[in-house]
Structure 1
Amino acid sequence: MPLSRHRLAIAAAFATQGFVFIGLTTRLPEIKDRWDLSELGISGVLLAIVLLAGAGSVVAERLAARTASASVLRAGLVLVAVGAGLMLAAPVWAAYLAGVAVYGVGLGMVDATTNMQAVALELRYGRPILPSFHGAWTFGGLLGAALTLATADVDLAWTAGLAVLPLIVAGARFLPRDTEAATAVATGSTEIAVPWRPILMVGLGMVVFYMVDTAAQTWGAVYLDEVVDAPSRFVALATLPYLVASLAVRMAGDRVVLRYGAVPVLRVGAVVACAGLVVVTAAPTWGVAVLGFTLTGAGISVVAPLSFSAAARIAGGSVERVDAVIARFNQFNYVGGLLGAVLTGVVGKDELRYGFVVPMVLVLALLPLARWFGTGRPAAQTASPEVSAER
């Protein structure tokens, strides 16, 4: 099968993950009201999702070493569908918590395996394509935010229909595993020794990204609703322009990074994101806050794809070695998620405006960390355009 078809399938998985995630986070004000949760209560739910997603990423690493990462991705998409459906349609608190648990594990499995698939395909292409995959995530998120805006007056339980999409995408033709590489793993001949120090430094950059990204996407709608008094129909606008700006930058990111290199792109983005968060924290009206979120999305958007590309490049070696690194590297996602979702809520429990000061300051850590991302292209793997043996 041509690589372009696998690229489309992987992009669909990224888009689905973004669609469901943003479809849930933009409904946090409704969920908060439905179960009478405080900011600390929401922080507790988000903490549970982050921890369970970390466990799901570990599960993906273990399973991908024994079976096809495409199969693990399919299983994760099914869990995401079941969990998201329960979170939105649960009639009782216990059912909602069950949905949180299932969704959290599925989220981690899909996060890890979509990036395994994307990195493996980037190695075959021999040029940067990760930004456009993360752009697909953003496109899906835009659809999720648009759906929230379009169904603002619909009962929360009926919005569980968004869970149908991951079930459909689970049947896509993802990237297959190379037969010889799979045999090497089975016989224990694949070397997994990895230079973890430079990967750790790149991982810190991804922590910063997810701290900012999760703070904006998780608390943005609540911020517009409670701090700057936006009309209830428009609270999803905290996320929608943020995603539009992210999508524009990510879709141009493949070419921009190829031309200028990762280091200057990251440093400029850090400054823009910091400026955006300054606007958010000082915003006198909800319109100004939306502008701040838009700038933040434009500045921070390419950090995650460049992090995964850099980690894979530093790891080197076989696809299986890279898979193991990507699954472990994905844990930085959840450290950032903890800082963005939980710390923002805790610091801003009395005044949410103060919660956004945390990512505003820490995003500047990307300025010194950027040098670890390097400027080299991913090395092309020797592989036929037609690959077989299901991954």
Structure 2
Amino acid sequence: MTPASRAGGDDGIAALVPAPHAVPVPVRRARRSATAAYAAQGFGFAVMLTNVPTYERYLGIGPDVITLVILGVCVCAATGSALSGWFAARFGSARVVTGGLLLAAAGILAVGLSAGAGLLGAFFVAFAVYGLALGSVDASTSMQGIDVQRAYGRSLIAAFFAANAAGGVVGSLAVSGAAALGLALPVSLALVAGVVVVAVLVLRAGLLSRTAAVAAAGEVVGSRKGRAPAVPDGAAPVPGAGGGAAERGEGEPGAAARGSAARGARGATGMVGAGTVLVLGAAMLAFPVADSAVSSWGATFLQGVLGASAVVGPLGFGAYQAMLICSRLLGDRAVERWGRVRVVASGGAVGVLGLGLVAVSPVWPLAVLGFAATGLGLGVVAPMAFSAAGDRAAESVAAVAGARPLAGAVTPTAPTAPAAPTAPAAPTVEEATDRAVARLNVFTYVGAVLGGVMTGVFATTDALRIGFGVLAVLALATVLLAGRFREAALPADPPGRA
């Protein structure tokens, strides 16, 4: 790794100025492929959701059945997310991404064919297959995103999530276009499935394999402003990111103390603890719950509670979605400038104010402004939660590497004593990250289910104000737990900023 320039400091830690031309070509290609994977996932998901009225017409079912289908998809997606950690550990997240997208394409095609044939049972099965694929791809794309971000040495995850949201916008427009052309549902969904398959064929070669992810983590070429890269010249590489035990600095004085102080370490396993995942999940939970509520009940609130016209009704969700994308497009730059904790805390606070404004708005323009503020504030929370999970994984592996003696080492005070028992091999940073991301992603679907339950409880127009007020209170958890989103504190890093 050859930095473009260095700036000295009292602590002797160099601050690198990123050199875009120095980013290895495979890493740049992986960034493009990961972006395409996020977009393809968002595209397919939007198509499946915005076709709900068409499903009802083809199958002669009502909203109650569709609600059960969506609930089933959430359960299957949570299962797929949990399983993705197991598959990624064995085959790498790149294969889970491509395999999951192909399975999603098959599910989309099957939904169209079964609905077109009027086969309700097959329709349920097809949606279950799609749900499994949805969860596995949601989790594995985040695994890839964090791997690429780690290779770049700076925040990229928010932009990846922006690509997902943009793909959703394109998917919604595609459904509108199919309706304008009069395409039958089986035909339109077959075309969508074909687009997803083509996307897989284009992006599959560029995704980071397990080996490439480990190698890239050892050749970071960029850094956050004012921070050294994860593996600066002359410093020990991040444990689990390549190199032998001695090269990882396991015997470095003070490494054990620093490692044991790192949050997220779970005993001596190197995996992120369940408590850490639970806290991050609770902190990000407001986003999927609010997202579900705004998309399902935003128009109803504007029209039924505030007396807006049918033309105005969709503006609430439109404003929310537009600012959500803006939040994610700007999120990485904001993290570089102010740090992840401040960005999440500020975003959560804006989300609280936005939802609160919706709840008390006397007129629809203020409510639309509240929906926009909600998207702007909470849109960045989910990507930063996954980024924080990646940092906790790095700390967990570093803690194990710092605390364990070298295999076969003999204590200097007892030269005749038997060699220290060899501890089980610590996971790599990538393996620990994949497991943490898979578990954290389950909270996305927990939030979607909670959003459905809340909208059921506050389904009458008179109670919708209370519902959005409850969401504002829920978003306070993001503000209160923002400190858990802190950046990694590793032996190779200078004292990090929040």
TM-score class, shorter: 0.7 to 0.9
Residue identity opposite 2:353 in structure 1: A
Q: Could you say what secondary structure the match of 1:330 adopts?
A: helix
- Any idea what the Cα deviations from partners look like across 1:27-69, whole Å, max 9, x if unmatched? 4344456556555444322211110001111221111111132
Cα 1:269/1:155, change in 2 over 3 Å: same
* Aligned-partner Cα distance in 1 for 2:51–2:303: 11
C-alpha contact (below 8 Å) 1:272/1:298 kept by paired residues: yes
**Is 1:367 aligned with 2:479?**
yes
Aligned residue runs from structure 1 range 264-303, under 5 A? 264-281=342-359, 290-303=368-381
- Any idea what the Cα deviations from partners look like across 1:76-134, whole Å, max 9, x if unmatched? 11122222334455122223212211110010110111011111111111111111111
* Aligned-partner Cα distance in 2 for 1:377–1:162: 44
128, 134, 138: which one pairs with 1:111? 138
* Aligned-partner Cα distance in 1 for 2:488–2:177: 43
Partner of 1:4: 28
Cα 1:276/1:108, change in 2 over 3 Å: same
Residue identity opposite 2:159 in structure 1: S
Q: Could you say what secondary structure the match of 1:299 adopts?
A: helix
Cα 1:151/1:54, change in 2 over 3 Å: same
Cα 1:199/1:380, change in 2 over 3 Å: farther
Question: Which sits farther off after the overlay, 265-274 or 43-52?
Answer: 265-274
Partner of 1:162: 192
CA-CA distance at 1:151 after TM superposition = 4.6
**Is 1:144 aligned with 2:171?**
yes
- Any idea what the Cα deviations from partners look like across 1:340-373, whole Å, max 9, x if unmatched? 2x21332133447354444233112212111111
* Aligned-partner Cα distance in 2 for 1:42–1:224: 23
* Aligned-partner Cα distance in 1 for 2:214–2:65: 46
**Is 1:58 aligned with 2:170?**
no
* Aligned-partner Cα distance in 2 for 1:226–1:163: 37
Residue identity opposite 2:445 in structure 1: Y
203, 213, 233: which one pairs with 2:281? 203
Question: Which sits farther off after the overlay, 8-17 or 330-339?
Answer: 330-339
453, 459, 469: which one pairs with 1:343? 453
TM-score normalised per structure 1: 0.83
Residue identity opposite 1:64 in structure 2: A
* Aligned-partner Cα distance in 2 for 1:145–1:139: 10
C-alpha contact (below 8 Å) 1:271/1:299 kept by paired residues: yes
Q: Could you say what secondary structure the match of 2:481 adopts?
A: helix
Residue identity opposite 1:175 in structure 2: L
CA-CA distance at 1:376 after TM superposition = 5.0
What value does the CA root-mean-square deviation take over the aligned residues? Answer: 3.3
Residue identity opposite 2:192 in structure 1: L
* Aligned-partner Cα distance in 2 for 1:288–1:144: 29
- Any idea what the Cα deviations from partners look like across 1:147-174, whole Å, max 9, x if unmatched? 3444554466154232322211222121
Which protein is bigger by CA-based radius of gyration? 2
Equivalent residues, number = 374
- Any idea what the Cα deviations from partners look like across 1:238-277, whole Å, max 9, x if unmatched? 5443222111121111111111122222222223223333
Aligned-pair identity (%): 34
C-alpha contact (below 8 Å) 1:29/1:222 kept by paired residues: no
* Aligned-partner Cα distance in 2 for 1:156–1:236: 25
TM-score normalised per structure 2: 0.67
Aligned residue runs from structure 1 range 313-352, under 5 A? 313-316=391-394, 317=397, 318=428, 319-340=430-451, 342-351=452-461
Cα 1:338/1:262, change in 2 over 3 Å: same
Partner of 1:176: 209
Aligned residue runs from structure 1 range 225-236, under 5 A? 231=310
226, 229, 244: which one pairs with 2:322? 244
CA-CA distance at 1:208 after TM superposition = 2.0
Cα 1:54/1:380, change in 2 over 3 Å: farther
C-alpha contact (below 8 Å) 2:284/2:382 kept by paired residues: yes
Cα 1:247/1:53, change in 2 over 3 Å: same
C-alpha contact (below 8 Å) 1:306/1:373 kept by paired residues: yes
CA-CA distance at 1:9 after TM superposition = 0.5
* Aligned-partner Cα distance in 2 for 1:119–1:379: 20
Cα 1:41/1:294, change in 2 over 3 Å: farther
Instruction: Structure 2: give runs of 5+ residues left out of the alignment.
Output: 1-24, 216-239, 246-267, 398-427, 494-498
Cα 1:327/1:362, change in 2 over 3 Å: same
CA-CA distance at 1:310 after TM superposition = 0.6
Partner of 2:129: 102
Cα 1:180/1:118, change in 2 over 3 Å: closer
Instruction: Structure 1: give runs of 5+ residues left out of the alignment.
Output: 382-391
C-alpha contact (below 8 Å) 1:344/1:358 kept by paired residues: no
Whose helix proportion is higher, 1 or 2?
A: 1
Cα 1:350/1:177, change in 2 over 3 Å: same
Aligned residue runs from structure 1 range 72-91, under 5 A? 72-88=96-112, 90-91=115-116
* Aligned-partner Cα distance in 2 for 1:224–1:100: 31
* Aligned-partner Cα distance in 2 for 1:81–1:180: 26
C-alpha contact (below 8 Å) 1:28/1:222 kept by paired residues: no
Partner of 1:28: 52
CA-CA distance at 1:380 after TM superposition = 9.0
Q: Could you say what secondary structure the match of 2:90 adopts?
A: coil
Residue identity opposite 1:374 in structure 2: R
